[in-house]
Amino acid sequence: MPYATDPDALGALLPGEPRYRIDQLREWLYLHPVLDAEQMTNLPLSLRRDLADRLWPFRVEAERTTDDGATIKWLFRAGDGAAIEAVLMGYPHRTTLCISSQAGCAMACTFCATGQFGFDRHLTAGEIVAQVAYAAAHLRANPMPRSPARVGNVVFMGMGEPLANYPNVREAIRRIVEVMGLSARSITVSTVGVTPGIDRLATEPWPVTLALSLHAADDHLRETLVPLNHRYPLDHILAAAARFRAEKGRRVTLEWTLMSEVNDTPDQARALGAIARELRAHVNVIPMNPTPLAPQKRPPKARIDQFVDEVRRTGATVTLRDTRGIEIDAACGQLRVSSGG
């Protein structure tokens, strides 16, 4: 299980092999990932054969493509049956990979499919990094028509609450930055508001981007959407985000899943704008994607535009996020919808 091994301890997998051989393997795993160990051409055939069946810590159970090949969702299955989903999105000048940090999620946000299916287990650092390596290998073997051939951005916005699986997420970030060479700035950790995790992340050496899934501008409303708000109320979360910003000098992103007649009112827009201005944060509005069990709905287009305009009028910067992959249940909040759990 090469991705289960610390990249600095790969020698344990290759007893008796010289140092350069270990370096070669590390490069294949992290710098030029390949789908198949057969393609590790400078390694001896016997070693390639030995790695063949155990290169990836999961098998690919399903691969679905949409947007003319520019969006791909993978359902990986670990040996113990845990489901791991990742979504690759190609844009003209960048590619973004959305990865999972847990199989399932314990946060139970009422509008999110992942939460509705419950928690299975934490992913290991190796399983998290292997999603990035697999997407990179796939992209090199199958370039997207109009996008760069390498993974540029990694967002922890797939299944799971990354800050509830801190040690593994931390180690995954370390490997992605220090071994794979991605810039920390191109990594986004999205949290529903695990305040102690935000404070820990601020002490790490990597200036990653913090995204806060806000969805409501007051505790009363937020508690109906995000149960964790009972434990970490808004003023705690926003104070932690402000500390993160001060410590890291990185602008925080506020995520707002927009739901019809829930959080799409002018009052919420103005309150969100005020929070964003105070925090000097950027707002991302994500129109709600359908999930089978959630009662909430996406507002009509005109209402979405009004909400965005209202936030903008407060002076905050706001983007209406394009949602990729609704047709293949790969969009925000849809992971686990059709994977069979």
Tell me, rounded to whole angstroms, the distance of Cα 64 from its chain centroid: 18
Q: Please tell me whether residue 333 binds ligand SAH under the rule CB under 6 A.
A: yes
Candidate ranges 32-40, 57-65, 167-175, 187-195; the one touching ligand SAH (CB under 6 A)? 187-195
Enumerate residues 149-178 that contact ligand SAH by CB under 6 A.
157, 161
Choosing from 165, 191, 195, 209, the residue that interacts with ligand SAH (CB under 6 A) is: 191
Q: Please tell me whether residue 187 binds ligand SAH under the rule CB under 6 A.
A: no
Query: Residues 85, 127, 161, 310: which is the catalytic one?
Result: 85
d(C-alpha 41, C-alpha 38), whole Å: 7
Choosing from 137, 332, 337, 339, the residue that interacts with ligand SAH (CB under 6 A) is: 332
Choosing from 124, 131, 153, 190, the residue that interacts with ligand SAH (CB under 6 A) is: 190
Cβ pair 260, 221 in contact under 8 A: no
Q: How far is CA 233 from CA 77, 151, 194, 226, in A?
A: 35, 35, 10, 10
CB-nearer residue toward ligand SAH: 30 or 111: 111
Residue 327 known to be catalytic: no
Q: Please tell me whether residue 288 binds ligand SAH under the rule CB under 6 A.
A: yes
d(C-alpha 231, C-alpha 236), whole Å: 10
Tell me, rounded to whole angstroms, the distance of Cα 85 from its chain centroid: 10
Choosing from 116, 253, 289, 339, the residue that interacts with ligand SAH (CB under 6 A) is: 289
d(C-alpha 67, C-alpha 145), whole Å: 11
d(C-alpha 194, C-alpha 148), whole Å: 34
Choosing from 76, 111, 119, 134, the residue that interacts with ligand SAH (CB under 6 A) is: 111
Enumerate residues 192-251 that contact ligand SAH by CB under 6 A.
192, 213
Helices (H) and strands (E) in the chain, counts: 10, 12
Q: Which two tokens stand for residue 210?
A: 């913090």
d(C-alpha 234, C-alpha 218), whole Å: 7
CB-nearer residue toward ligand SAH: 127 or 255: 255
d(C-alpha 100, C-alpha 336), whole Å: 11
Q: Please tell me whether residue 127 binds ligand SAH under the rule CB under 6 A.
A: no
**Which residue's CB comes closest to ligand SAH?**
333
d(C-alpha 19, C-alpha 21), whole Å: 5
Choosing from 133, 136, 286, 311, the residue that interacts with ligand SAH (CB under 6 A) is: 286
Q: Please tell me whether residue 119 binds ligand SAH under the rule CB under 6 A.
A: no
For residues 255 to 284, the per-residue mask of contacts with ligand SAH, x marking binding by CB under 6 A and - elsewhere, is: x-x---------------------------
Residue 36 Cβ vs ligand SAH, minimum distance, rounded to whole Å: 31
Q: How far is CA 75 from CA 64, 81, 316, in A?
A: 9, 11, 37
Q: What are phi and psi of 125, to 5 degrees?
A: -55, -40
CB-nearer residue toward ligand SAH: 2 or 115: 115
Residue 286 Cβ vs ligand SAH, minimum distance, rounded to whole Å: 4
Helices of type H across the chain: 19-26, 45-52, 113-116, 125-141, 166-174, 195-203, 219-225, 234-248, 266-279, 301-313
Residue 251 Cβ vs ligand SAH, minimum distance, rounded to whole Å: 16
Catalytic residue positions? Answer: 85, 332
Which residues make up the interface to ligand SAH (CB under 6 A)? 107, 111-112, 157, 161, 190-192, 213, 255, 257, 286, 288-289, 291, 332-333
